Amino acid sequence: MKVQIFLIGLILFMSTASCGYDASFATKMVYVSGLSYCQADQILNDKCGKATDQVRNTYKMDVEYAMDNGKSVNSITMAVLKSDNDKQYFVGFSGTRETSQLIAEIAESFPRSYEIHPEIGEAKVMDYFYQRYLDDFRDPFLQKIKEIIKGNPSYGVTFTGHSLGGAMTVHAAADFILSGIDTNRKVQIYSFGQPRVGDHKFIDGFASKVSGFYRVTHSKDIVAHIPPCITDLHDGCTESGILPFYPYHAPQEIWYNEDSSSYTQCSTKEGEDPTCSNSNALNDSVDDHLKYLGLPISGLTSYPASLEELLKA
């Protein structure tokens, strides 16, 4: 009898535990991230080209909500979708769209205190990503996500995004978790070519509460290493020291090779695994940033794919 109880408990544990990185699921998230490059009205009216066809017709996802931040400069879109097949809600953010936006991201690449959740300590984050989330999305996002997910309490929530969208989705996921909106709900993050968002105190403040954080990188993607971490001669990227700010990635990095035919599952403990993309002598590829899992992530919609043009200018 005791053996039977043990086996039943083991089966239940295995069925509820995180299953780890799923490459097929990641492909779906590439399309959701790609869809988010579209404008909100195009997303709502199914006019986003290949991304719409794949997300709506192949993956059978429903668009629950979409909004633009209403800015002509620094334009960003957020979309919320639902899949009854996956029993998941998906939150996606658009990546960098215009040259002016890229310039603003670079100009505002300085640290500031993470003030909305002081309970995690003296964490610091990059100003541009934090300010855009705080000013443009936080209030409507928290209000809408509460309304949307209450109809399916057993569904998980997966946050996704490419480039700038990866940074935005990390802020949304952290806020969702730290606000205690639904502590029983499974939360995942699938980001692609995500820049560093904050320091290790910010990451440590919420990452342990995420059932899966998969930070997908592609070969020598330049953006995944911006802003640069602080290194020493022996241990690579360091998380603390005498300087006021140490940009640091969250684990787990999933590092794809150049043609995306294989990938390495990096350390689940260290966000800056020295044996993965940090092992490259130089991470300087724009081409690697523009394609993920073999797909032109910013060019999957009818939205003009200006990201390639501005990064190669």
Q: Break the chain into its structural domains and give their ranges.
A: 20-311
Least-confidence region, from 73-77, 114-118, 208-212, 220-224: 73-77
Residues 6+ apart with CB under 8 A from 30: 162, 192, 292, 293, 295, 297, 300
Instruction: Please state the rounded mean pLDDT for residues 57-70.
Output: 97
Considering the entire predicted model, what is its pTM?
0.91
Helix (H) or strand (E) holding 139: helix 138-149
- Position 92 scores a pLDDT of 98
Fold of the domain spanning 20-311: Rossmann fold (3.40.50)
| pLDDT digit string, tens, across residues 20-44 | 999 999 999 999 999 999 999 999 9
Tell whether the model's pLDDT for residue 169 goes beyond 90.
Answer: yes
Better pLDDT: 263 or 233: 263
pLDDT one-digit tens code per residue, 123-143: 999 999 999 999 999 999 999
How far, in Å, are 102, 220, 294 from residue 105 at the CA level?
Answer: 5, 21, 26
Nearest to 168 by CA among 36, 280, 287: 36
pLDDT at residue 148 tops 90: yes
d(CA 22, CA 252): 13
237-291 residue pLDDT tens: 999 999 999 999 999 999 999 999 999 999 999 999 999 999 999 999 989 999 9
pLDDT tier at 298 (50, 70, 90 boundaries)?
confident
Assess whether pLDDT exceeds 80 at residue 101. Answer: no
In the chain, % of residues over pLDDT 70:
89
Contacts of 261 (CB under 8 A, 6+ apart): none
Q: What is the pLDDT of residue 17?
A: 40
Q: Is the pLDDT of residue 7 over 50?
A: no
Look at the block and give the residue holding tokens 């443009």. 136
Model pLDDT, residue 8: 38
Mean pLDDT of the chain: 90
User: Quick one: pLDDT at residue 304?
Assistant: 47
Give 185-220 pLDDT, tens digit per residue: 999 999 999 999 999 999 999 999 999 999 999 999
